[in-house]
Amino acid sequence: MSSTDEEEFDMDNEVLPKKKKNGNDEAVPKKKKKRPVKDEEDGEMHDDDEDYDDDVPLKQLKNKKKNKEKESKKRKPDKVVSGPVKKKKKTEDVKPDKPKSDDTAMKKTAIKALKKLDKAERLQYAMQSFLWWDSVEPPEGCQWRTMEHSGVSFPEEYVPHGIKMKYDGKDVDLTPAQEEAATFFAAMDPEGMHLGDPKTAKIFIKNYFADFLEVLGKKHIIKDFKKCDFEPIRRHLNEQKIIKKAITDEQRKANKDDRNQVMFRFGYAIVDGHIEKVGNYNMEPPGTFRGRGEHPKMGKLKQRVAPEQVSLNLSQCAAVPRCSVPGHAWGDIKHDPRGQWLATWKENINNQSKYMQLAAQSSFKGKSDRSKYNKAALLCSNIEKIRKSYKKDLKSKDQETKQLATAVWVIDRLALRVGGEKDTDEEADTVGCCSLRVEHLEFDPNGEGGVNREIKLEFLGKDSMLYKQTIDFGATMYNENNGMGEQVYENFKSFCKKKKPDQEVFDSINPTLLNQHLKTFMDGLSAKVFRTYNASKTLQDELRKHEAGSQWKNLTATEKVVEYNNANREVAILCNHQRSVSKAQETALEAIGSKLATLKKQKKDLKQMLKKLNSGDSSGLPVRKSFEEMAEDVQKAVEKAKKMKEAAKTNEEKIAATQADEKAKQKKRDLADKKFQKAHLWEKVPTKDQLVKRIEAWTAKINKMEMDLKHKDDNKEVSLGTSKINYMDPRISVAFCKRNEVPIEKIFSKTLRDKFNWAMAVQPDWEFNEKVALEG
């Protein structure tokens, strides 16, 4: 390209018009700036309406001055009035010359409301104002035109505490790096899921101690884990937890402000000129690797990631962010608009690349989600063709064809994942359809004999979640409309015949072959598309089934939410979205059950009181004593604990303050419990009307609590959130809420509403079908 005919690039990487350089072209005048002036109303600096002339050539300024003088001469001089000027009386019906419009008033109200919000809330509004589905798409193959961010936030360096562990009963001197490694193990709960389970504890300790010995070095005195005593460090850590609880409200606010400063610096990116929230901007700190289930590498030491290991991805026009760790620099700077990642590095446990990306509510994730659900909707027009094909091939004489057909049936009807080969020394032994072994299937598990066609499937699925279901392949649901369930049972029986327990059921196919086979039916078809289709279709069908009920219109919004959750649970069971019941869940269920029993007893007492009043006898009716004295005692305890926190300087004083705070909280809980026990009573004898109204109120409370308890108990082992976040098209849920006047807040949390903001505009009659694929 010649020097006289150059192309210029703007910040958006777009080519500007060519500009000749022949020496004769006049300079293009710069756009005039606005003069900053102070607004008397809000005290903020704004641009003045008039232009100012800092960048205007002197010749133009002179011409401008002459023009102004000519205009002023043409104007008629104002009349001069002699004598005192009479002031006009202000009257109420005098209207201003230029009345303010409603739009201006609304704008000013909105601006004042925005000024009351904190910085994070204003940023949230700014992000919500960007409607990515209405914006111009970046060039084909690119995810963005410009991207700018601040890099990754690194954890603070380790500060040694100086507490010594014991080896063979004696104190051991450790370097800061060795002490940090010892502290990682001491921080683990001995009764927790990793060390509390003998099976996982063995794997954890073996891996941890192997890495700990590497940190210690060959010449160190520590050689045998059984002689190691981490208890002194564990006691110190528990003590530090108690001390941290003694922080004052001011310190808590200061800590929050510090976290916010980090968030404001690293938690946001500017993509194509708009603000986006960053997901995982905090680098993972070093520690022990936990893993899921019986991961073979649990317990290994995760190393600290240095900035030199991190590569950043941003546009060429963006400033490279300064590294936050003094004396260090970024490993590499990339300018790849094809990638969605902002930063990448490799972790030492599995030697896999990890990425810093935008948050779940970002435009990147939104586009990906919409595309995923639209692809699943496209399966609606292809599903019958696919089912017809695999039903035909289930009886094929060719082993590979028969196994492919059976695998597709399993993926379609049982929603299993494809599964792949795993190195069990590197990864947990999780299983999918293609990796099923004979040992995972048990024919006729109940020993019924005869024509029984049940198979018990039991294996570890994704994230080491146990899949344990007994499938009756002879059931109507698998055989109606030529479902071929019985034929699939016979195929499984033939695939397992004369095989050892550790041999694969589908030995003639593999995941690659299966995925290639799926793509012959529809471009981009995979097992995940099947799962998304089945999850969305099941939710829609279940909801329509409930809505068709004769009593549906009489249900309250809360009752309709319960029916929605029932439909959601059917999807979660289909996709095997399980979760383990925690101790906290069990405790919460017991507490709700206890409260429910109390409410029922109180309602019974109220009915007895009403019966007594109706008989004309008001003597001996129970009344409630005042709780003022107890409430004052609680308030004193709270204030005392607060003063102790504020005055605490030493660790001993902080521990004492924390203990006082715990006692005050317990007193508060005791007061709340006593109030609840007497909540149905009055301080004086009630009237009949008061009793009737309270009985009605208690009936409503009991019904609501029974509904909550049933919902929590039914779903304690089922993860409703997983299918809601990843598999069920959100537009189905939004349309359901609009049709039935159910607040969307009852179905989607704020996080999900932000994530699925693109789905909120659908009509009440929207349906999940092949037409959806044409929408975007």
Catalytically annotated residues: 727
Write the DSSP string, 595-615: HHHHHHHHHHHHHHHHHHHHT
Residue type, 235: R
**CA–CA separation, 270 vs 513, rounded Å?**
42
Q: Is the dihedral of CA 475, 476, 478, 482 positive or negative?
A: positive
Which long-range CB contacts under 8 A does 172-176 form with residues at least 24 apart? 172/221, 172/222
Neighbours of 669 (CB within 10 A): 11
Amino acid symbol at 302: K
Across the beta sheet with 147-148, the strand order is: 147-148, 268-271, 274-277
Residue showing tokens 């303010």? 100
**Cβ count within 10 A of residue 394:** 19
Strands 332-334 and 311-313: parallel
Reduced to 3 states (helix: H, G, I; strand: E, B; else coil), residue 7 is coil
Q: Where are the beta strands (DSSP E) in 71-188?
A: 147-148, 166-167, 170-171
Contact 482, 507 (CB under 8 A): no
642: phi then psi, degrees, rounded to nearest 5: -65, -45
For 206-234, letters b (16+ CB in 10 Å) and e give: ebbbebbeebbeeebebeeeeebbbeebb
Distance CA 210, CA 187 (A): 18
- 542 vs 574: CA distance, rounded Å: 13
Report DSSP letters for 704-752, one per residue: HHHHHHHHHHHTTTB-HHHHHHHTS-HHHHHHHHHHHT--GGGTS-HHH
What are the DSSP E strand ranges found in 106-239? 147-148, 166-167, 170-171, 228-229
Cβ atoms within 10 Å of 422's Cβ, excluding its own: 14
- E-state strands within 353-450: 353-356, 441-443
Q: Which residues of 293-332 are buried (b: 16+ CB within 10 A; e: fewer)?
A: bbbbbbbbbbebbebebbbbbbbeebeebebbbeeeebee
**Which backbone phi and psi does 35 adopt, to 5 degrees?**
-80, 125
Rounded-to-integer distance, Cα 457 and Cα 471, Å = 8
Distance CA 257, CA 265 (A): 12
* CA 655/CA 436 separation, integer angstroms: 55
Q: Helices 730-740 and 527-547, interaxial angle, to 10°? A: 10
Residues 6+ positions from 298 with CB-CB distance below 8 Å: 194, 200, 203, 204, 207, 288, 289, 290, 291
Q: Which of 529, 494, 497, 504 lies closest to 408, judged by CA?
A: 529
Residues 6+ apart with CB under 8 A from 492: 406, 441, 443, 455, 473, 505
The CA-based diameter of the chain, rounded to the nearest angstrom, is: 123
- Residue with tokens 């929605």, as numbered in its chain: 564
Structure tokens at 693: 């109204």
Nearest to 558 by CA among 767, 706, 679, 735: 706
